[in-house]
Amino acid sequence: MTHRGPLRCLPPTRWLVPVLALLASAALAQDVLAAGPSGYAPAPVLSPGDYPAIRGLSPRLAVWFAAQMHVWFAAFVLAVPIFAVILEFVGVVKKDARYDRVAYEFLRVSITAFSLTAVTGGILLAALIVFYPDLMKYLASIFGPTALFYALFFFFETAALYTYYYGWKRMAEGRLKLLHLAVGIGLNLSGTGLMFVANAWVTFMMTPAGVDAAGAFGGNVWEAVNNHLWSPMNLHRFVANIAYGGSIAGAYAAYRFLGASSEEGRAHYDWMGYTASLIAIGALLPLPFAGYWLTAEIYSFSQQMGITLMGGVFAWLFIVQAVIIGALFLAANYYLWCGFGRGGYGAGYLKYVKYIAVVVAASFLVWFTPHTLILTPSEARAIGGQYHPYLGPLGLMPAKNTAVNMMLLFTFLSFLLYRRAHRRPVVPWVKYGNALQAGLFTAAVANISFLGVYYGYFTNTVYKVASSVPQVATTLFVIVACLVIEWLMARGGRSEDFKWGRMPERSQYALILIAVSFTWLMGLMGFVRSAIRQHWHVYSVMKDASAEAFTPSIAYAAKVVSAGTVVFLAIIVFIFWLGGMGQEKEAGGDG
Amino acid sequence: MALEAGSVAMQEQNSALRMKTTLAFIASVLGFGALFLVLDLLLFNAQGLSFVFKG
């Protein structure tokens, strides 16, 4: 491998974009500041003629596609360094070189994606300036100073990234290793800071703050940055990025596992895939709570916006979301069940799989049952109305909350059994410990069902919403309590190492399915978040007067997002292929 | 004869253990069930609602 100085190896895409962003923002801000006597003009009132047009090109589609590509790549490259540092740290503490090797490999896979993130960011910026100049001028008049932070974070992130990556082998021992870890932490802090700045621009467009009713800026940039959605969006994107990065890294491991020719290679990529999927699913579990906060803030800012999100036409996309997340959970469970074979005691637990599968599949079906059906008049007459007489109640939120909690509980049960596959507890109270855990699960299932059925169908709306809190608390309690009991039972127990690589090939397709589901889900739900602004550039203060200022049909949105998913994943496969070539070259050079 | 007696003793021991395990399961269902009800009550109260719905 060739080691080069960090600055000499910076590709132009890494420094050109922040410089362009800074210059464009400064130029646009100056333009607007000159326009008003008080310094800050109200939001411009536009007409269709204010939007430049290029024949045969849809401005909305161009910006949508570029933004979507940028967000997918950005999510991946922000997440990988987070768990690379965590794995490197674990490797240092445990003195286990496997963690270090996997962390380095994760980072190597993402390094090509860094340049593509910058390229797609540049395309997005150019598309916005070309097609929506007045909107960009208005935003720059408010957020001009934040572009400086963006550029600074970008430079720090780039410098830290290349030092972290190219210094990995040179800074492998003693104090240099600690310094290397510190550089990794710096890389993550600057990457997260970068995302927070961009989130401020996006969330301002949804829930503007620091401006009056006409959109005239009051002069306090922090007020505009710290708008209603900024903090929940920061949290939601931070957690979601980790889940997404884990899923893409898991798909990479699966790709390499399927192509591995040696037992050692299969073992390595099996372990890598397991670690990545554990990170992905681990980050997925708290994501609904961050999403809950984000949605609550949307409702708190504008009930109308909240109703558009959950009760209008977009509600159908939540059904699609349920299908995709349900598929994701089924894939995660299937992967864990296949993993029973890695441990010596796993065969004894296979008999429970069919029961868990029934519960997970039933919960999945309840989760995506729609409340209002799209029916022809004759179909509606046949079932006696718009709602199905028996399945209609399953379309309501209490049923879905109950189903989601059941799915989480039983996925956790799969994980517990998976861990037992290589560990046999020998404490004298094993039978009582098992009875305690079985009792805990039984009581939790009863409590979640009671809360869902009684408060969901025999009380009013306030209780229906409120009962979801103890439902989630019950699930979390079971997870924590079971892990504590499991830890106490495992003391002094017999355990044997997992036999990594002893996985059927079909299990790896579950990892690929998880990555595809995440990508699709992000695209679809990202569309919903953005589209609830409807015909506003900046909600309630700056109207979109372009010819495309209407909400597209769900089918159109699904086609755009699906096409984006295919293009993005094709590029990712290309990156995987490049990553494999780099590793072969490195192995040849080193060896 | 001794073998038979041993087998009977083992069966009795297993049966007693099964009984104790079943009791432990029932006790844990009741215990955790009560704990969850208290948790529900506290979480409804924290949201300004009474645990018992009064129409």
User: ipTM of the assembly?
Assistant: 0.87
Task: Return the pLDDT at A7.
Answer: 40
Distance from CA of A474 to the nearest CA of B (A): 7
Q: Which range among A110-114, A510-514, A573-577, B7-11 has the greatest average pLDDT?
A: A510-514
Alpha helices (H) along B1-55: 2-46
Asked if B24 and A451 come within 8 Å (Cβ–Cβ), the reply is no
Summarize the confidence of residues A566-590 as an average pLDDT. 76
Q: What is the pLDDT of residue A16?
A: 53
Q: Which residues, numbered 26 to 55 in chain B, qualify as contacts with chain A under a Cβ-Cβ cut-off of 8 Å? A: 26-33, 35-37, 39-40, 43-44, 47, 49, 53
Encode pLDDT of A309-328 as tens digits. 887 778 888 888 889 989 99
DSSP string covering A78-126, please?
HHHHHHHHHHHHHHHHHT-HHHHHHHHHHHHHHHHHHHHHHHHHHHHHH
Q: Which chain A residue has the Cα nearest residue B53? A: A459
Q: Which residue has the higher pLDDT, A396 or A363?
A: A363
Within 8 A of B29 by CB-CB distance, chain A residues are: 439, 442-443, 446
pLDDT of residue A84: 92
Task: Quote the DSSP letter at residue A217.
Answer: B
The tens digit of pLDDT for each residue in A466-487 reads 898 999 999 999 999 999 999 9
For residues A82 and A242, is the Cβ–Cβ distance under 8 A?
A: yes
> Which position has the higher pLDDT, B26 or A491?
B26
pLDDT at residue A352 in the model? 94
Q: B42: nearest CA in chain A?
A: A470
* Dihedral sign for Cα atoms in the order A438, A444, A446, A448: negative
Would you say A378 and A300 are in contact if contact means Cβ atoms under 8 Å apart? Answer: no
pLDDT tens-digit map of A162-211:
999 999 999 988 889 999 999 999 999 999 999 999 999 999 999 999 99
pLDDT at A222: 94
State residue A270's pLDDT score.
93
Residue from A505, A481, A487, A320 nearest A420 by CA: A487
Give the pair of three-digit tokens for residue A458.
């025999």
A390/chain B closest Cα distance in angstroms: 25
Binned at pLDDT 50, 70 and 90, residue A345 comes out as confident
pLDDT score of A344: 81
The one-letter code for the residue type at A352 is Y
* A435, A466, A473 member nearest B28 (Cβ): A435
pLDDT at B50 over 90: no
Q: What is the pTM of this model?
A: 0.83
How many Cβ pairs within 8 Å bridge chains A and B? 72
Highest mean pLDDT among A47-56, A192-201, A279-288, A366-375: A192-201
Q: Is B19 on the interface with A (CB under 8 A)?
A: no
A464 falls in which pLDDT band (50, 70, 90)? confident
pLDDT in tens, A518-563: 999 999 999 999 999 999 999 999 999 999 999 999 999 999 999 9
B25 touches chain A (CB under 8 A): yes
Interval A484-504: pLDDT, tens:
999 999 887 777 778 888 899
Q: What mean pLDDT value characterizes chain A?
A: 88
Q: Where are the beta strands (DSSP E) in A461-579?
A: 494-495, 536-538, 542-543
User: Nearest to residue A498, comparing CAs of A339, A331, A349, A279?
Assistant: A339
